[in-house]
Structure 1
């Protein structure tokens, strides 16, 4: 008896030699340029007291009156908690990502380059999650987790999302973080531990983003307009959940700030909105190119200032 049903066989038929060529090149890149965070990062070096967790310009409060009122110690503390909150969101989503990719590759040809790179990506994500967890432990920051409603939404998403919806969610999380980390890895006043983890993540996630883009193009090759519209909305909702979960409200309390006032200033922070739009520019261009930026999805992206 065949192990795959007719729908799976049709999906395999749509996978072309050109698709596999992309995965093969990514495998070659992974073989030539991958990192082991346990040896690449100096985990024993003490943390300089005055260094930020991320570039101040990426702080949610930068550009507000509250930021101007804060002491330098509060700014340093806030940025360290913010970067660890973002790292913890990254860990949470990497757990979702791994399950979606594994489910997508279930019963696919194990000798194909696509299958092998998918498992390579999962191995990368395991190392990244451990790396982020270790960095937060080093900074002495607690594990900030999404609230119960968001956690349950993530549980549903990882169980139900497939095809371009799954890879679209993956791409959203990776693209936004990539732009941020490219700045952090160059920040002279940013902790070395953050610069180092950012450098590793940027290099290895660039392959993951290329893989996600290729998978999205492949899945949409024969997609109907109705399917594109539905997927566009689903990806936008996923983006909304990810972006609104990146910085936990607890970071403001940790910096000795009034949480209510801090959240109000973040909500009206035009500098932060501009930074979010800038970090989403390439993502929005790709979604538009593939028919995944509709009027409905654009309205969702505007709510979180990605457009």
Structure 2
């Protein structure tokens, strides 16, 4: 096979959707919340903290499901362009299946909470839709890594945390199992695309990815989540600014290190744009 052989799961049957949502548990580990440890956090009641966790989780799941659905479209294009019997086409279809499972899993998880999904801001949504027209190359595979591997890092520790709602723990567990081989495949595809591209194509993909990174890494949690606990979006954003910055660097560290090793961060303009993301190590942002 082409590196896409993996354990599959069915999000419709491998999670017990019939069991009731346990409202007395957190939807994600408290320490991963954007306000954790801040003055605002200390002022919240236990119930408000669980409410904020639920809304932050739904916002995050909404984003990853939305972006995965769009990126899946690029793999469908690749399958069509490569010819349906080629190894590359079959690998692309495996990625379509994986991206679809991600979208279904977290879409159903949102439905189980009874909250509506969070939508990206209008201007950002328009920019994100450009992912549908992303050229098939290093940038498309790198964007997939940026979305799903960063999300996986954000949810690290969820499965082992008994204080997290069981639906969430199971969803994250099977997502992690499914994505391990997908991440390896996407990384190999980035390297392969880089190796077979000329200097101009590589520069174009680097620039495109750096622009996408500035959009993708800033829409994970909607500012509207803070209204669920009586805070304005502005106050929530200001109160969570340091935590957000720290989390962005921490959760993207593995992806950024890989992209750097694959020469996807090279170039003066590319490096400048990546600094704006806040995902680079602090010494590089100084």
TM norm structure 1: 0.85
The question of whether the paired residues in 1 share the 8 Å contact of 2:159 and 2:170 is answered with yes
CA contact (8 A) 2:62 2:118 kept: yes
Distance 1:258-1:41 versus aligned 2 partners, 3 A rule: same
Deviation track 1:184-238 (CA, whole Å, cap 9, x = no partner) reads: 2222211111111111111112222122112111111133344333322211221
Equivalent residues of 2:217, 2:248 under 8 A apart:
no
In structure 2, which of residues 206, 214, 228 is the aligned counterpart of residue 240 of structure 1?
A: 214
Q: d(CA) in 2 for partners of 1:185 and 1:296?
A: 39
Number of the residue aligned with 1:304: 277
Assess if the C-alpha contact under 8 Å between 1:171 and 1:212 holds in 2: yes
Q: Is the 8 A contact 2:4 2:91 kept in 1?
A: yes
> Aligned-pair distance for 1:91?
1.5
- Checking the alignment, whether the CA contact within 8 Å between 1:104 and 1:163 is kept in structure 2 is no
The alpha carbon displacement at 1:240 in A equals 1.7
Structure 1 distance, partners of 2:272, 2:162, is 37
Aligned length: 279
For residue 48 of structure 1, report the CA deviation from its aligned partner. Answer: 2.5
Alignment of 1:94-109 (within 5 A): 94-109=68-83
SS in 1 for 2:19: coil
CA distance in 2, matches of 1:158, 1:151: 12
| Residue 38 in structure 1 maps to residue 22 in structure 2 | no
* Equivalence for 1:224: 198
CA–CA distance in 1 between the matches of 2:22 and 2:97? 32
Q: Does 1:282 align with 2:254?
A: yes
* DSSP 3-state at the match of 1:26: coil
The match for 1:61 among 21, 35, 38 is 35
- For 2:123 and 2:263, locate their aligned partners in 1 and report how far apart those are by CA, in whole Å: 30
Partner of 2:283: none
Offset at residue 169 of structure 1 (A) = 0.9
**4+ residue runs of structure 1 moved beyond 4 angstroms?**
none
Larger Rg: 1
What is the root-mean-square deviation of aligned Cα atoms in Å? 1.8
Structure 2: gaps (5+ residues): 281-286
Measured in 2, the distance between the counterparts of 1:40 and 1:98 equals 22
* Structure 1 unaligned regions, length at least 5: 1-20
TM superposition score normalised by structure 2: 0.91
Corresponding residue number in structure 2 for 1:88: 62
| CA distance in structure 2 between the partners assigned to 1:54 and 1:127 by the alignment | 20
What is the alpha-carbon distance in structure 1 between the residues aligned to residue 218 and residue 169 of structure 2? 24
